[in-house]
Amino acid sequence: MLRAHAERRWLSREVIPVLRQIETSEDLPDDQLPAAMAYLEVIWAEALGRARETDAERRRLDARDLSEQPLLARAHRYHRAVENLRQAVARRVAQLLGASQPRTAV
């Protein structure tokens, strides 16, 4: 759950504010747009790495003892919520970067 929480915080604190700034051109002069887009690419690559780590941890959690069922159920719900956020952000990043759709996880 901590890994999913860390990924959610990264998306919320690092990626989404940059997306909003680019999408709205808020406080962003036109000559700084290329730099903002380059920065978005860099932090999105970091976000994808975090997503891979989160998904790997989820797979490790799934292999644990079934006696920990209440914890597993909560972890699955939280992971699902983070996946939904990740997918929504991925769509926005894809639109801005002009890609068909960035990969959200491996």
pLDDT at 46: 95
CB 74 within 8 A of CB 53: no
pLDDT at 56: 92
Q: Which residues, at least 6 apart from 77, have a Cβ–Cβ distance to it below 8 Å?
A: none
CB 15 within 8 A of CB 47: yes
pLDDT at 67: 67
pLDDT at 99: 46
Secondary element (H or E) of residue 82: helix 69-97
What distance lies between CA 30 and its chain's CA centroid?
A: 26
Return the SS3 of 80: helix
Rg (CA), the chain: 16
Q: Please list the pLDDT of the chain residue by residue as tens digits (106 residues).
A: 788 999 999 999 999 999 999 988 877 788 888 999 999 999 999 999 999 999 998 888 877 766 667 777 888 889 999 999 999 999 999 999 884 344 554 4
